[in-house]
Structure 1
Amino acid sequence: MKRHPDVPDFIYDYVNLASPHLGTEVVEASDEFFAPKERLIEDAPAVFVPDRYDAHGKWMDGWETRRRRTTGNDWCLIKMGVSGIVKGVDIDTSHFTGNFPPAASLEGLFSESTPGPEARWRPLVRTTALAGDVHHYISVADLDVVNWLKLQIYPDGGIARLRVHGIPKREWSAEERESEIELSALKNGGRIIAYNDAHYGNVSALLSEGRGRNMGDGWETRRRREPGNDWIIIALGAPGTIHRIEVDTAYFKGNYPDKCSLQAAYIEQGTHQSLVTQAMFWDELLPPQKLKADSVHTFGGKLVADLGPITHLRLNIFPDGGVSRLRLFGKLA
């Protein structure tokens, strides 16, 4: 995964907490006349279809309110699927050129119930000027855990996508500490660190819940035309010992990998590039295993090496192809 010099590290280093794959929902909006609020957090990049119109006017891939003729401003309320600490946001106005808001802000709070008018919101991104058809990358310094977000636009207009990158945070109960946990899951803090290729699909879906919905709901590499194999590096949500592994090739039928293997290690610190280099030499957690089309493969027992607690792993696929879901189950260290 090559990092673009104009894209901040938080985009690559942290989970998008606003992703529907984590259960995040846009629950309320002041207005959504031209384009529904749900599109605001879709995982796929926004697209533009020149000749597409609907009953309300030009079809736009995002959230768009009507032209405001009164005082005030528009807003939407977002319920995060997983609580977390926000590290940075991307307010994306792609394809909104004459209809983007001049400014926006983002607030957050932690609440067990839907916030009401008396809610005490904290600023995550203070009112910031916006431009049309660009990504606005903004770092966030707030260290408090939030599970609700409020995006405000001033006064009206359209936002294509909102990405909220950060660290999922959860408290492990005493019962959970004694139980088997899916340590790789996005909802438990698992995240993608690096990969050599992700030409198709949605790479973050690899660690999400449920089976894939289609062939685009997973990690898929291009057809390899040179020696070697494809790989992806994942950080677990918490250090733990692994007992059971699931590799799901749902919907991958003519393009599933022939084999897969896993390497793993306990890493306390290191740069992105150092992890990529070290991963080539990590111990084998799962030796090469044959895969089948559109199937859930479960590996356990003596097949899974006893490496003790680990924090990171590398999934190797031979030589290329698509994997819908990867799940690693074990106990917290």
Structure 2
Amino acid sequence: MTTPPPFTRLPDLAARLLGGAVVWASDESFAEKENLIRPGAPQHSAATFGHKGQVYDGWETRRRRSPGSDHAIVRLGAPGIVHGVIVDTAWFTGNFPPEISVEGARIDGYPDAGGLNASADWFPLVPRRSVEGDTLNPFVVDDHRTVTHVRLTMHPDGGVARMRVHGIARPDPALRPPGAVDLAAIENGGHVTDCSNLFYSSPNNLLMPGFAHIMGDGWETARRRFGTSDWEAHNDWVEIRLGTSGKLTMLELDTTCFLHNAPGSARVRGRSGNDEWLELLPRTALQPDTRHRFPVAVDAVVTDLRLDIFPDGGMSRLRAWGTPAEGGGQ
């Protein structure tokens, strides 16, 4: 099994759940542009023909008979710095583009989608590169300017199943709502920096907006067996960099959808500016399928959180409500 590139540990800023959208495409004759950011792995059933031909779970354009290239523009769910892009050509074997490129742009306000292709100030994130069919095709991005939109170009045409845009959100402080905010939320710049186990699902799910509908919407670890040294001496944990440093007033630990595999208990600590870990929530029993809210009495600015669950299990969401520190950007 090929080891995923490190940038895939970062959240997908184009995720539909964050508010990402495919706002424009030059052509979608065979398969719709919206498929590019659908959650989950692309699906395929052979010999499933519709009026437009074989049905593909991706974006596919017509065969070009004249010079040019095809483009699709994705508005990110949250403005951010892109660290890597996945261009997934799953199931496209004879109709994938031989080359692709990806550009970014920072666009203020809510412009009409049709004019973005020509009017935006696009700059390269991934220069023109060859891709393989039925492959994930990962690309590291070195330009760390904040972008709100990305443009995928297929040279000259073809099909792409999914595009993932991994990075760290950098929201505009001027658009931050007044009062307490969730400082750990992905859309506010929060992201996972390390965790003990991601066997079943990504710990970044903890920081997504909305509520979990199934266990797969949260973070779940492998089992630790009762009575073994692994059970007695170890537990699972996740560390989170807040979008901005601040003072926390409320923690929410949500085990919704985890009925028989919720952690037995949990503890939360915060890292202060002098690199000291402060206990924000002592080890506390948790209930299955429950939104737990705990006031935080510690009057200190923290930059990171560490959630320890005992001994293992799953959690759907973690919220860290608080007030951003003055000039507290990460």
Bucket of the pairwise TM-score, normalised by the shorter protein: 0.7 to 0.9
1:184 CA displacement: 0.3
Name the CA distance, whole Å, in 1 between partners of 2:270 and 2:139: 33
Pair 1:169 & 2:187 matched: no
Aligned to 1:295, which of 274, 287, 290?
290
Aligned to 2:32, which of 30, 36, 40?
36
Q: Structure 1: 5+ residue runs without aligned partners?
A: 270-280
Greater mean deviation of Cα atoms: 30-39 or 244-253: 30-39
Over residues 188-238 of structure 1, what are the superposed CA-to-partner deviations in whole Å (9 max), with x where a residue is unaligned? 000011222222244322101111122211111222224132211111101
Conservation of the 8 A alpha-carbon contact between 2:272 and 2:278? no
Over residues 271-314 of structure 1, what are the superposed CA-to-partner deviations in whole Å (9 max), with x where a residue is unaligned? xxxxxxxxxx94322112222222211100xxx35161111111
- Identity over aligned pairs, percent: 41
1:257 CA displacement: 1.7
Match of 2:119 in 1: 118
Letter in 1 for 2:121: R
Match of 1:316 in 2: 308
Question: Where in structure 1 do 4 or more consecutive aligned residues deviate above 6 Å?
Answer: none
Conservation of the 8 A alpha-carbon contact between 1:201 and 1:215? no
Conservation of the 8 A alpha-carbon contact between 1:21 and 1:205? no
Match of 2:82 in 1: 86
1:51 CA displacement: 5.9
Change (3 A) 1:317 1:129: same
Superposed, 1:19-30 pairs within 5 Å as 19-30=15-26
Change (3 A) 1:230 1:175: closer
1:15 CA displacement: 3.1
Letter in 2 for 1:182: D
Match of 2:73 in 1: 77
Greater mean deviation of Cα atoms: 320-329 or 42-51: 42-51
Change (3 A) 1:52 1:311: farther
Name the CA distance, whole Å, in 1 between partners of 2:42 and 2:172: 35
TM-score after normalising by structure 2: 0.85
Match of 1:263 in 2: 269
Name the CA distance, whole Å, in 2 between partners of 1:103 and 1:175: 39
1:243 CA displacement: 1.1
Aligned to 1:9, which of 2, 6, 9?
6
1:45 CA displacement: 3.1
Conservation of the 8 A alpha-carbon contact between 1:34 and 1:65? yes
Q: How many residues align?
A: 314
SS in structure 1 opposite 2:171? coil
Pair 1:67 & 2:63 matched: yes
Name the CA distance, whole Å, in 1 between partners of 2:68 and 2:83: 29
Aligned to 2:245, which of 221, 239, 243?
239
Name the CA distance, whole Å, in 1 between partners of 2:151 and 2:263: 42
Name the CA distance, whole Å, in 2 between partners of 1:229 and 1:54: 51
Aligned to 1:283, which of 270, 273, 278?
278
SS in structure 1 opposite 2:206? helix
Letter in 2 for 1:245: L
Change (3 A) 1:151 1:174: closer
SS in structure 2 opposite 1:216? helix
Name the CA distance, whole Å, in 2 between partners of 1:253 and 1:290: 15
TM-score after normalising by structure 1: 0.85
Q: Structure 2: 5+ residue runs without aligned partners?
A: 326-330
